[in-house]
Amino acid sequence: MVYGQVLHPPHDCFINVNVGGFKQRLGHAVLQRFPQTRLGRLLCCSSKEAILELCDDFSPSEMEYYFDRNPRFFCYVLNFYLTGKIHLVDGLCVVSFCQEIEYWGIKKGQLDCCCSGRFHELMEMAEDERWDQRSDDGQQLHSLGSSLEELASSVDDEEMFEGSWCASARRSVWLRLENPGFSTSAKVLAVASLSVVLASIVAMCVHSMPDFHQVDLDEKEIENPVLTFFEYFCILFFSVEFVLRLVVAPSARRFLCSPLNIIDLLSIVPFFVTMTCDMLMEDDSTELENVGKVVQILRLMRVFRIFKLARHSAGLRSLGATLRHSTREVGLLVLFLSVGISMFSALVYCVEKESQESELQTIPIAWWWATISMTTVGYGDTFPVTFAGKLIGTVCIICGLLIVALPITNIFNKFSKFYQKQRHLDLKQTLK
């Protein structure tokens, strides 16, 4: 018999709660719906000492539990017990909101859908301000653990294992596959995965070299057996790794939506599609005359394996995050370049079309010239020959330098910030 049952008559199914002066009577049935919350755990206390670990004061005579917390926020807690969803509190700092729901034992995943998007936006803004302040002071950067990537890779993932089949075993395998700093075996798996990726890239490069091509007695090109063995081994390793990570993932849907996992899938699928096409090509059917071209395209898709290095490189992950969060700057850069290329290609065409020595006789060719000039590439295969054309080319190059430089500062600052965050997150996972 627990402590509450000793003091309460059997017919009494309520407890009295006092939060900062705000008093409320709550039924046991309501609290028992969420046994992991602070109020739900009160019902299972077997002593007064255990009760005082969960509340600030307790009055046995009045059977009242006192909490020295924000009474205004407690109204939202009451609504959570009635509806099962928590909502953001207007005017309350998002960091304080996180502290309050953590105190009451409410998880971030129990936010209602109407507040979830705004919550993540506010948390990212608070995190960015924290990082900027730490950077300006020259102190060690500490993450608030609130960005979407960190939530997805740490707290939420571990919470999603609760109540699922073989939760402890799956969680152990998942951490070893996802977090190289979890244990020595996790580091070994990470090194093995990285080694296979590098070996696969090297084999792909070697396969394109004529010195390693082989032919049969009929002078027909055949696959190099050594390279074929490496190819099969790498695909087998990638396939087993992907399937194993999918099986132990806390959420298969979120796993398949992850950009890194999509890259892993794209590095595997072309091999099996190519194998199927090769089997079909064994039949000399006229309907399959274009299958060979499809096979060649699919084999080129093996280049996606290079992006698998992003799983082991903080720099590549930071670059991807920077591009994902810099769509506005990149869009402006493309827009500025498009306007400049259109203008200068038309101008150089007008002054060069009368010259017999000039190759800029059409606007499409002038587009190519303006593109390589504004991006400062300058192949030199096409160039103006008249004085006016050279003058326009000079202005085109200068404008290209200015246009390209305009958004670079913002993009670089974002990359630096994401790189610092990723490095700190990797360090924090290593120290766990």
- List, for residues 93-122, the tens digit of each pLDDT value: 888 888 888 899 888 888 888 888 888 888
Please give, one letter per residue, the 3-state secondary structure of 86-144: ECCCCCCCHHHHHHHHHHCCCCHHHECHHHHHHHHHHHHHHHHHHHHHHHHHCCCCCCC
The residues of the chain that CATH labels 1.20.120.350 are 168-312
Contact assessment for residue 145 and residue 151, using Cβ atoms and an 8 Å cutoff: yes
- Name the maximum alpha-carbon separation found in the chain: 106
Cα(430)–Cα(314) distance, integer angstroms? 13
Would you give the distance in Å from CA 95 to the centre of its chain? 23
Instruction: Look at residue 392 and tell me whether its pLDDT is greater than 50.
Output: yes
Q: How far apart are CA 138 and CA 77, in angstroms?
A: 39
Is residue 199 within 8 Å of residue 309, measured between CB atoms? no
Burial-class residue 265 by CB neighbours within 10 Å (0-12, 13-18, 19+).
Answer: middle
pLDDT at 160 (0 to 100): 62
Question: Which CATH code for domain 3-108?
Answer: 3.30.710.10
What angle separates helix 291-300 from helix 259-281, to the nearest 10 degrees? 150
Q: CB neighbours (10 Å) of residue 316?
A: 17
Partners of 14 in beta bridges: 27
Which of 322 and 53 is assigned the larger pLDDT?
53
60 DSSP assignment: T
DSSP at 391: H
Average pLDDT, the chain: 77
Model confidence pLDDT, tens digit, residues 206-217: 877 777 777 766
Indicate the residue type of 378. Answer: G
Q: Which of 124, 83, 84, 90 minimizes the C-alpha distance to 106?
A: 84
- For 168-312, give the CATH class: mainly alpha
pLDDT of residue 395: 92
Coil, helix or strand for 231? helix
CATH number of 313-432: 1.10.287.70
- Start-end of CATH 3.30.710.10 domains in the chain: 3-108
Ranges of CATH 1.10.287.70 domains, the chain: 313-432
The model's pTM is: 0.46
